[in-house]
Amino acid sequence: MAEELAAEARKKLYLETVGCQMNMLDSEIVAAKLRSEGYELTDDVEAADAVFYNTCSVRQHAEDKIYSALGRVRKLKSRNPDLAVGVLGCMAQKDQAEILKRAPHVDLVVGPGQLDRVPELLAAVKSGGGKAMAVSKARRDGTLESIAQSFTVYDPDREPSLRPTPFQAYIRVMMGCDKFCTYCVVPSVRGPEQSRSPEAILTEAQMLVDQGVREITLLGQTVNSYEKKGQDGRTWRLSDVLNAVQGTPGIDRVRFVTNFPNDMTDDLLQAVRDFPGISRSIHVPAQSGCDVILKRMKRMYSVAQYDEMLARTRETIPGVAISSDFIVGFCGEDEASFERTMRLVERARFKNSFIFKYSTRQGTKADSLYPDDVPEDEKKRRNNALLALQTRISLEDNEQLVGRRFDVLVEGPSRSTTRREGWGGQEQLMGRTLCDRIMVFEGDERWVGRFVPVRVEAVSAVTLFGRVENPVEPA
């Protein structure tokens, strides 16, 4: 009875996360902090005592979705004035007071550098203290003040239920970004680049292993720019961190995202080649295949340099899978520029590419320097054309994998609804290969979290379909 009452007395937190993996990790930390304040997570927004959105500002579309969600929450708040509504993350940092103007029922606005203050701010709001706002201040030169303090006080305590699966987790190895690509809002909302100490990273890896995690993804906006002096007096680079994490007993696989092309150094490539626990999949966004556009984007490399980096990567790591991001319709991108991007995608043979229509972001260099001059219809057309080309290439390259055998880390039941004819009985599972290719196959749900050998029988552009080689005994 007492237990029932205690359960009822727990307050409910509805926490919705959009955007990148960094946000998913931030949400894990916020949820854990609020759990120790007596909050438990709920999927039911109507039952919540606090409704939080952890937001993304990279494109306008992501922001629009949050404003419409806030519009829906307004009704809940008018029914239940005690409901606390919070906007966390990049939009909070970027729009600040603007959010309270557009959505006056919001109680908390907390930027990504201030998330450790959420419990204190929420308590103040709940005790009738009015609105709470915590954002990092801008320096004179427009860059953000250091957010190192919030960063180091981050409690390594996490909310495991928000992880992709119980045996996969993220570790942040660096925060912020110093590259200042002209289209990108990240440096102005996430602040300057700061690498974490190798000791903190390895302690967190050990804590995750103790919780049953077997696959770790190291996160950073430009993860391969990582550099930090350790207590041993050595300067650690990403290759050193990858090596140490993959060598942690209990860790089977380490992945790392996202890479900046200029920082793809040989020591990193050799680490991926030499250590069997490191994923042979490298995400290294090109953004455009046209030198004029790359210059306008201030990406600091030419197409020839990007091509050279790809060749070096493939030469060093046989069988590596490379993926990319592209922005189409950037200011001044004409048909000839776009064709150059098509040609890069044609020759680079990426495993996959994420393609985005340019979205002008207030406060960025591109927004103040260049007109957003490619019409929306044209952006859409280029997006579709590039996607069709990438899909054709992904399919062709996947077809070459039919008949090959891969060790697959089983993640769980397949979310895909496409069931192949003739499959009966067993559960349809999904997992990933070391090159981060998705494999769907029949098996036993007790295999989740284990490696199984799967032979590819059929493919689509995004999925391999296979059969488990030798019957695997459930653990």
Residues that bind ligand 5AD (CB under 6 A): 58-59, 183-184, 285, 287, 325, 327, 356, 358-359, 361
* Total length of the chain: 475
> The tokens 């007109």 sit on which residue?
371
The residue among 50, 59, 52, 51 whose CA lies nearest residue 20 is 59
Which amino acid is located at 266 in the chain?
D
Instruction: Compute CA distances 438 → 11, 54, 261, 398, 452, whole Å.
Output: 38, 27, 25, 11, 13
The one of ligand SF4, ligand 5AD, none whose footprint includes residue 407, by CB under 5 to 8 A per kind, is: none
34 CB neighbour count, 10 Å cutoff: 21
Record the tokens describing residue 45, joined without a space: 């927004």
The number of residues that bind ligand SF4 (CB under 6 A) is 10
- Closest CB to ligand SF4 among residues 366, 452: 366
Instruction: Compute CA distances 74 → 50, 70, 84, 104, 226, whole Å.
Output: 13, 6, 11, 9, 42
H/E run at residue 346: helix 335-348
The one of ligand 5AD, ligand SF4, none whose footprint includes residue 327, by CB under 5 to 8 A per kind, is: ligand 5AD
Site for ligand SF4 in 292-321 (CB under 6 A): none
Give least dist CB 60 to ligand 5AD, A: 8
Q: How far apart are CA 147 and CA 136, in angstroms?
A: 7
Using the rule CB under 6 A, is 184 a contact of ligand SF4? yes
Find all residues with CB under 8 Å of 46, minimum gap 6, and list them: 76
304 CB neighbour count, 10 Å cutoff: 9
Give least dist CB 291 to ligand 5AD, A: 17
459 and 399 Cβ atoms separated by less than 8 Å: yes
**What is the sign, positive or negative, of the torsion defined by CA atoms of 443, 449, 453, 455?**
positive
289 CB neighbour count, 10 Å cutoff: 25
Give least dist CB 258 to ligand 5AD, A: 7
The one of ligand 5AD, ligand SF4, none whose footprint includes residue 260, by CB under 5 to 8 A per kind, is: ligand SF4
Under the phi-then-psi rule, with left for phi > 0, alpha for psi from -120 to 50, and beta for the rest, what region is 403?
left
- Closest CB to ligand SF4 among residues 350, 406: 350
The one of ligand 5AD, ligand SF4, none whose footprint includes residue 345, by CB under 5 to 8 A per kind, is: none
Find all residues with CB under 8 Å of 219, minimum gap 6, and list them: 21, 22, 25, 170, 171, 172, 173, 256, 257
- Closest CB to ligand 5AD among residues 85, 322: 322
- Closest CB to ligand SF4 among residues 112, 443: 112
Record the tokens describing residue 264, joined without a space: 């793809």
Record the tokens describing residue 126, joined without a space: 């709940």
Using the rule CB under 6 A, is 92 a contact of ligand SF4? no
Among 187, 220, 431, 466, binds ligand SF4 (CB under 6 A): 187
Site for ligand SF4 in 232-261 (CB under 6 A): 260
Give least dist CB 396 to ligand SF4, A: 29
- Closest CB to ligand 5AD among residues 224, 243: 224
- Closest CB to ligand 5AD among residues 33, 361: 361
Among 25, 87, 186, 328, binds ligand SF4 (CB under 6 A): 186
- Closest CB to ligand 5AD among residues 285, 449: 285
Q: How far apart are CA 51 and CA 374, in angstroms?
A: 38
Site for ligand SF4 in 159-178 (CB under 6 A): 177
Residue 284 main-chain phi, psi, to 5 deg: -140, 90
The one of ligand SF4, ligand 5AD, none whose footprint includes residue 222, by CB under 5 to 8 A per kind, is: ligand SF4
Among 51, 90, 91, 181, binds ligand SF4 (CB under 6 A): 181
Give least dist CB 26 to ligand 5AD, A: 16
Residue 378 β-bridge partners: none
Give least dist CB 229 to ligand SF4, A: 23
Give least dist CB 270 to ligand 5AD, A: 25
- Closest CB to ligand SF4 among residues 180, 451: 180
Using the rule CB under 6 A, is 179 a contact of ligand SF4? yes
The one of ligand SF4, ligand 5AD, none whose footprint includes residue 359, by CB under 5 to 8 A per kind, is: ligand 5AD
The one of ligand 5AD, ligand SF4, none whose footprint includes residue 179, by CB under 5 to 8 A per kind, is: ligand SF4
Q: 406-421 burial, b for 16+ CB within 10 Å, e for fewer?
A: bbbbbbbebeeeeeee
Query: Among the candidate windows 65-73, 82-90, 184-192, 392-400, which touches ligand SF4 by CB under 6 A?
Result: 184-192
The residue among 139, 69, 58 whose CA lies nearest residue 91 is 58
The one of ligand 5AD, ligand SF4, none whose footprint includes residue 301, by CB under 5 to 8 A per kind, is: none
- Closest CB to ligand 5AD among residues 180, 451: 180
The one of ligand 5AD, ligand SF4, none whose footprint includes residue 187, by CB under 5 to 8 A per kind, is: ligand SF4
Q: What does 165-195 look like in DSSP terms, one character per residue?
A: BTTEEEEE-EES-S---TT--HHHHH-S-EE
Q: Which residues bind ligand SF4 (CB under 6 A)?
A: 177, 179-181, 184, 186-187, 221-222, 260
